[in-house]
C-alpha cells in the first residue's frame, strides 16, 4: 500500500493553531487594555497635580500682594489683609487683600481682591478671585475648600484661627482642598509686617 502525501493541515492541527492564535490575541488585547487604562490614570493624576499646583500658585500670588506699594507709591489706612473665618469645616474662609497698583498707571490705584471657594451654578466647586467693583471670576476648578490654618506673628510664633489675633502678622498658612480628596498647604509670607483685620 502506498501512502498519500498530505497537502494541507488536519482538522486537529487547524483547531490547535486557532486556539493558540486566540490565546495570543487575548493576551495582546489585555496588554493594550491595561496599558490604555494606566495611561488614562497617569494622565488624570498629572492633571490633578497640575491643578493643585496652579491653585496653590494663584493663592500664594494673590494673597502675597497684601500691602504692596504701601510706603513706596502711597499709603492707605486700615488692614492690608482681612480674613473671614467661616467657623465650619465645610465652608471656605474668605481672604481679602488691599494693595496699590502702579503699573502702566499715571497714579497708583488702591486694589481690593477677595479670594474664596464656592460652587458655581452647575454645582462645581471653584476657587474664585473677585476684584472690588468687578464680577467674580473662577481662577481654578475643583478646589473644594480654602481654610486658614495658622497666623505667623512678627516673632515667628504660630496662632490658630480661634486664638486672639495680633494687629500685624508676618505670614499665614492656608489649606487648599480638592475634589479628589487631597489637600495642599500654602505659606504666604510678606517682606514687611501686614496689618490684619477680620471680615
Q: Cα 69 vs. chain centroid, distance in angstroms? A: 28
Q: State residue 134's pLDDT score.
A: 86
Long-range contacts from 154-158, C-beta under 8 angstroms, 24+ separation: 154/193
Which positions ≥6 away from 181 have C-beta within 8 Å?
Answer: none
Q: How far apart are CA 135 and CA 129, in angstroms?
A: 9
Burial 37-74 (b: 16+ CB within 10 A, else e): eeeeeeeeeeeeeebbeebbebbeebbbbbbbbbeebe
Tell me the domain boundaries of the chain.
58-198
Q: State residue 126's pLDDT score.
A: 94
Q: State residue 72's pLDDT score.
A: 79
C-alpha cell, 155:
516673632
The pLDDT averaged over each successive group of 10 residues in the chain (199 residues) is: 69 92 93 90 92 93 90 84 91 94 80 93 92 88 95 96 95 95 94 93
pTM for this model (two decimals): 0.81
Amino acid at each position: 500500500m502506498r501512502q498519500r502525501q498530505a497537502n494541507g493541515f488536519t482538522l486537529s492541527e487547524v483547531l490547535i493553531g486557532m486556539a493558540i492564535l486566540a490565546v495570543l490575541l487575548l493576551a495582546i488585547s489585555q496588554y493594550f487594555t491595561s496599558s490604555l487604562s494606566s495611561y488614562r490614570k497617569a494622565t488624570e493624576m498629572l492633571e490633578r497635580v497640575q491643578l493643585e499646583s496652579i491653585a496653590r500658585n494663584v493663592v500664594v500670588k494673590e494673597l502675597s500682594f497684601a500691602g504692596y506699594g504701601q510706603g513706596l507709591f502711597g499709603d492707605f489706612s486700615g488692614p492690608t489683609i482681612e480674613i473671614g473665618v467661616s467657623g465650619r469645616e465645610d465652608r471656605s474662609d474668605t481672604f481679602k487683600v488691599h494693595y496699590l497698583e502702579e503699573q502702566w498707571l499715571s497714579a497708583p490705584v488702591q486694589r481690593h481682591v477677595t479670594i474664596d471657594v464656592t460652587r458655581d451654578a452647575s454645582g462645581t466647586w471653584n476657587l474664585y478671585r473677585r476684584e472690588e467693583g468687578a464680577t467674580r471670576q473662577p481662577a481654578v476648578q475643583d478646589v473644594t475648600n480654602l481654610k486658614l490654618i495658622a497666623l505667623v506673628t512678627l516673632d515667628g510664633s504660630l496662632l490658630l484661627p480661634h486664638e486672639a489675633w495680633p494687629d500685624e502678622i508676618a505670614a499665614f498658612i492656608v489649606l487648599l482642598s480638592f475634589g479628589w480628596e487631597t489637600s495642599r498647604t500654602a505659606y504666604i509670607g510678606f517682606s514687611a509686617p501686614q496689618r490684619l483685620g477680620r471680615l
